Each structure stands twice: as C-alpha cells, then as structure tokens.
Structure 1
Amino acid sequence: MAPFSFSFLFLLLLQSSFLFNCLTAKHHDDHHHQRVRSPNSNPRLHQAFLALQAWKKVIYSDPKNHTTNWVGPSVCNYFGVYCAPSLDDPKIQVVAGIDLNHGDIAGFLPNELGLLADLALLHLNSNRFCGILPQSLANLSLLFELDLSNNRFVGPFPSVVLHLPKLKYLDLRFNEFEGPIPSELFNKSLDAIFINSNRFTNIIPRNIGGKSASVIVFANNNLKGCLPPTIASFANSLEELLLINTSLSGCLPPEIGFLYKLKVLDVSFNKLMGPLPYSLTGLAQLEQLNLAHNMFSGNLYEGICSLPNLENVTVSYNYFCEEVGICQNLTAKGIAFDDRRNCLPEKPFQRSKKECSAVVERPVDCFEHPCGGGGGGYGSSIAAVPAPAPMPIFSSSSVVAPSHL
C-alpha cells in the first residue's frame, strides 16, 4: 500500500476511534468529549496538538503554506515540528523543536504554547509575529535556543526569558522591544545574547556581569551612558562584543583589556572619547577592531597594531593625532586599515586644523572623568566638537560584518 494511503487509513482509524469514545462516554459535557483519546495515545503529543492547533487559529497569514498540513493529531508530521525521544523516558516521543524560520507568517503567540513543556528549540526568525510574549512560555523549562529575531514583537524586555533555566541562546534582534535591559539577564548562563536593533533605552546595567557569554550584541539601541567596568566579568568567555550605535559616551574602561579571549570589538558610531586604554594591547586574540565615528583622541599605540591576530582595524572619523611605529603602515602587514578623518598630519583625508584644535586643546582625563564629565573634559566643550555622523539603520536584510547585525 502506498505511504499516503496508509497515512490516510491511519488517520481514519484514529478519527473513528475518537468518535466511538465520544458516543459511548456518559455524563460528560461537550468540552470533555473534545479531549477524549484512546488509552494508547501519547498524552504529551496530545498536549502539543492542543498547543499547535491553538497557535494555528491565531495565524492570520501564511503565504508559504507552512502550517497547511497542521491537521490531525500526528503532530510529528507537521511542517517545522520536530519530535524526539523524551529526556525522562526514551520510549515516549515528544515535540522537541519548532523551526518556522523565514516563513513570513503573521500572527501572535498564544498562551497555549506553554503546553509544549518538552520544547528545546524554538526558531521563529524572519516572520511577522507581533504582540507580547505570553508568560506561559516560562513553562518551557527545557528550552535551550530561543530565536524570535526579525519579527514585530513589542513591549518591555520580555521578562519571561529570565525564567528559562536551560536557555543558552537568546536572539531578540530586529523587533520593537523597548525600555531598560534588566541586569538579571546577565546572571543567566547564556552563551549568546543578541538584543540589537530594538528600542531599548536607559543604560547598560552597571552591574553587568556573567561567566559564560561568548557573544554579546547590543547594537542599534539607545542605551547611552558608559560601558561599565564590570564587563571584565566576561573575561573567561567573551569573544565578540558589538556595541555599534548605542549612544555610548565617556571613555572605554581599562577593564575592557581584561577580555583576553576577545576576537571582535566594535564600538563604532558612538560618542566615546579620550585616549584609548593601554590595556587594549593585551587582547592577543583580537581579529577585528572598529573604533570609527567616535571622538577618540591621543595616540594609536604600536602595541595595538602589533596584536598577532589582527585582520581589520578601523579608526576613521576620530581625533587621533599620532600613529606610533607599525601603526603608520598596517597595510604592509596585510591588515585592512582605515584611518581617514583623524588629525594625523602626514596622512591624507584628515580633519581640518580647526576641528582638531577643539580636541587637542581640551584633552580628556579618563582617570579623573571616565564618563567624560567635569572640567577640562568634553563635558564643558562638547558643543565645540562635531558629533559623530549618524549611524545608518540596518534593515534585517542588510549584510554587515560581523553578521550578527
């Protein structure tokens, strides 16, 4: 018999059994009739069936027909739904993953998704899901990866993700979340934190700390304030830190040099100022350094340019006045280097003397005023210094290096 015919017959038998049970059951209401199932059925897959059917009802547009076959109790055959043996009983199949990436699906997430207690992976990248996340998602105690990027979710930072004990990968980028970022986020044992391109405001939590994150991307939010010294608590894990276009100000803290595993550091398109901390010379694993479109001044140290793994250095649109040693000719080492629009007297495409003098005559003391305030710093002369050029707003389809944006 052909597989399609067999599946059709199987579904027919299930439906017949379901109808028989409903007809023979006594002293039960209609709501109970809908939940009657045979003794041999899998209660966890039945819960998943209820959740997925509730979800399908609140999907308003599915142009690629991803949920067309979400019909009947055989949820393991649904498109984008993946079953696996249960962790507590390998003889029982459960819904362990849902992947509807790039579906262009419109709708919202119903409370019933909390019934998917065995879910380890939920990927909804590049759809049109909207609204707020249901608190019932806190029931997903096994959830390991949550990717909600490129959607239309709104509201404050979704606190429900703070209650997911197994979560390692969190991707909320390109949504409409707003308000402050809770410091509790960094107490979790997350490996990757992508919250860029939302509407988060306030400041980076001053008690930011963690032990496990290898990638943190805050880019394209309006966080303001300084990068707190407690960023050093990620020293044993952090490999990529992207703070592009977050309205950061003040000086880079010396503690950033403690991130000895760092490979990518991008703080471009901010309002950072003052000399670079010499501790950057200790970032031996660093491959990409982007300081462009800030108000950094002073020297570009030879120790930075001599880092053994450097591939790309961008310091354009700052106020550096001297490149020391090998920094004068980094391209000779095969390193991509951009130092345009600084105050380097021997280099082409630099700022005017008038622009440069506004900074040189009022140097920033980062030890005395790490956030740029106070006399003698930019706090009293910021109006005289041209602000960095505005950061272009990257769309979800833009290709930016690194690719996390």
Structure 2
Amino acid sequence: MGFGLLVSILILTLFLKSNHGQQQEQSIPNSDEFFISQFFEKMGINSSKSSHVYNLSLSACSWQVVFCDSEQKTVIGLVAPNLGLTGPMPDNTIGKLKKLQFLDLNSNQITDFSSDFWSLISLKNLNLSNNKFSVDLPTNIGNFGSLEKLDLSFNNFTGNLPDSFSSLAGLQVLNLNRNRFNSVIPLGITNCHSLTSVDLSMNSFHGSLPRGFDTAFPKLKSLNLAANLINGRGSDFSKFELLEYFQESFQGFCC
C-alpha cells in the first residue's frame, strides 16, 4: 500500500470520527435540544422538512420557536403555533424542560397532555387555545403556582373546573371561552385575587356563583359569563370597582 493512500485513509477516518462526534453532540440525550426535537418529531414535524422551525445542527437557542435565558443556555420559552402538531403530547419531551416559563402551542391539533406535563412548575404563561383537547382538565393544573396567564379557549374541555385553581394565586388572565365545562364555578377560584380578566363564556357552567366571588378580585377589569346557566343578582358585581367590561350569563341576573 502506497504511503499517499495510507495518509488519505487516515485523514478520512479522522474526518468520519470527528463528524460522528459532532452529530452525537448535536443530539445529546437529556438536553433541551433533544427534548424539543423529540416533541416535534413525535407530533409529526420532521426537521428535514421544517428546518425553519428547528435545526439539529444548531443550538436550540437559535431556533425560531425557542427563547432562552440571558446566558443563552436554558430554554425558557417555546412558541410554536399553527404547525400542525397532532395527537397527545408525548412523554419525556417538553415535560422535561424544567425552566420553561412560556409555552404557546395555540392553533394546532393537540388532543391530550403528557403525564409529565404537570412538572413544568415554572410556567408563567400557557396558551393551548384552538386545539382538539376533549378531556377533563386535571386537578394537576394546581401544580402551576407561578402561572399568570392561562388560555384554554376554543377546545372541548369537559367536566368540572377543578377546585385546585385555588393554588393559582398569581393568575391574572383566565380564558376558558368555548369549551364544554359543565360544573359550578368552584370556590377555589376565589383565591385567585390577582385576576384582571376572566372569560368563562360559551360553556355550560351552572348554579350560583361561589361565596365571596364579589369581593375576591379587587383588580378585575373584564368579566365574561355569557352563554352559561349561572344564577345571580346584579348586586353580586357591585363591588368590582375597576370593572370595565361585563357580559352576563344567558340565564340572567335579577336586580
């Protein structure tokens, strides 16, 4: 074997080894890149056809749909609306992003939560509107004690609104418009003293408002209860001094 051929083989071997090492580094298990890429792939988004969404040859912090902390090391936001994400959220994907603060997956075709979704205890803003959820909202929603904005509108959530809303003391905006909730409004919601906007319209909420509802939300500016079967009196809302918008239930309120 000639010396030149031997050198060429050696160089090629080193190149392939180096390239393989780079590929391994780009998809390290238990990294943010790995968890997010697995989420997209298992929900029908392929990187080779959607490189504008995520690119495995680049750090997750450079992806269009990802936002990172100031040091560009940790993923704190994932904003991926209208991508055709389909089916239930897979386990061991975005539920592993422990520092995630903002999650916006609106206008997809997501049908259910992953079992580890509720470990995202750093979430401040969650938008799952305009999807295909047709399940009861788990009591695990109470895990999100840091949540400030929750938008689950335009889905088919059913059953009771969990009383575990009592744990969402910092919640400011709640939008459950156009679902199929068919319970009374739970007493736990009166612990959400920071609420400024509440939209429960176009559901099947019924019964009376929980005790203390009229004094629970000193910052409330917008309240929409339209197209429900909630009983009440106009005086139930007389103490909302900052209220600028109010839409009552079709059941109506007496004087």
| Structure 2 length-normalised TM | 0.80
Work out whether residues 167 and 190 of structure 1, in 8 Å CA contact, stay in contact via their aligned partners in 2: yes
Asked whether 1:75 is paired with 2:60, we answer yes
Provide the secondary structure at the position in 2 that maps to 1:60.
coil
Asked whether 1:257 is paired with 2:241, we answer no
Query: Among 217, 223, 230, which residue is 1:248 paired with?
Result: 230
CA distance in 1, matches of 2:96, 2:66: 14
Map residues 3-402 of structure 1 onto 2, 5 A cutoff.
16-17=17-18, 19-20=20-21, 37=25, 47-60=31-44, 65=50, 69-72=54-57, 74-85=59-70, 90=71, 93-111=73-91, 112-130=93-111, 132-188=112-168, 189-206=170-187, 208-209=189-190, 210-249=192-231, 251-252=232-233, 254-268=235-249, 270-274=250-254, 276=255
CA distance in 1, matches of 2:16, 2:182: 53
Provide the secondary structure at the position in 2 that maps to 1:135.
coil
Provide the secondary structure at the position in 2 that maps to 1:255.
helix
How far does residue 50 in structure 1 lie from its aligned partner after superposition?
A: 1.9
Work out whether residues 46 and 73 of structure 1, in 8 Å CA contact, stay in contact via their aligned partners in 2: no
Q: Which residues of structure 2 form unaligned runs of 5+?
A: 1-13
Work out whether residues 232 and 256 of structure 1, in 8 Å CA contact, stay in contact via their aligned partners in 2: yes
In 2 relative to 1, CA 168–18 (structure 1 residues): closer, same or farther, beyond 3 Å? farther
How far does residue 233 in structure 1 lie from its aligned partner after superposition?
A: 3.2
Task: Output the aligned Cα RMSD.
Answer: 3.1
| Structure 1 length-normalised TM | 0.52
- Structure of larger gyration radius: 1
How far does residue 253 in structure 1 lie from its aligned partner after superposition?
A: 5.6
In 2 relative to 1, CA 15–226 (structure 1 residues): closer, same or farther, beyond 3 Å? farther
Counterpart of 2:198, as a letter, is I
In 2 relative to 1, CA 96–267 (structure 1 residues): closer, same or farther, beyond 3 Å? same
How far does residue 121 in structure 1 lie from its aligned partner after superposition?
A: 0.6
In 2 relative to 1, CA 228–74 (structure 1 residues): closer, same or farther, beyond 3 Å? same
Q: Deviations over 1:276-308 (max 9, x none)?
A: 2xxxxxxxxxxxxxxxxxxxxxxxxxxxxxxxx
Counterpart of 1:222, as a letter, is S
CA distance in 1, matches of 2:139, 2:16: 41
CA distance in 2, matches of 1:15, 1:260: 70
Work out whether residues 54 and 65 of structure 2, in 8 Å CA contact, stay in contact via their aligned partners in 1: no
Work out whether residues 227 and 252 of structure 1, in 8 Å CA contact, stay in contact via their aligned partners in 2: no
Provide the secondary structure at the position in 1 that maps to 2:44.
strand
Work out whether residues 40 and 85 of structure 2, in 8 Å CA contact, stay in contact via their aligned partners in 1: no
Work out whether residues 145 and 167 of structure 2, in 8 Å CA contact, stay in contact via their aligned partners in 1: no
- Give the fraction of aligned pairs with identical amino acids, expressed as a percent: 24
Work out whether residues 58 and 108 of structure 1, in 8 Å CA contact, stay in contact via their aligned partners in 2: no
CA distance in 1, matches of 2:15, 2:137: 43
Higher relative contact order, structure no. (Cα contacts within 8 Å, ≥ 6 residues apart): 2
CA distance in 1, matches of 2:15, 2:33: 14
Q: Deviations over 1:83-122 (max 9, x none)?
A: 223xxxx4x6111111112334334322221211121110
Work out whether residues 146 and 170 of structure 1, in 8 Å CA contact, stay in contact via their aligned partners in 2: yes
List structure 1 runs of 4+ shifted beyond 6 angstroms.
none
Provide the secondary structure at the position in 2 that maps to 1:225.
strand
CA distance in 1, matches of 2:233, 2:128: 31
In 2 relative to 1, CA 273–77 (structure 1 residues): closer, same or farther, beyond 3 Å? closer
Q: Deviations over 1:181-227 (max 9, x none)?
A: 11221441200111121111121124541311111111111111122
How far does residue 241 in structure 1 lie from its aligned partner after superposition?
A: 0.7
CA distance in 1, matches of 2:15, 2:104: 30
Counterpart of 2:208, as a letter, is C
In 2 relative to 1, CA 229–46 (structure 1 residues): closer, same or farther, beyond 3 Å? closer
Q: Deviations over 1:73-92 (max 9, x none)?
A: 5212323112223xxxx4x6
Q: Number of residue pairs matched?
A: 237
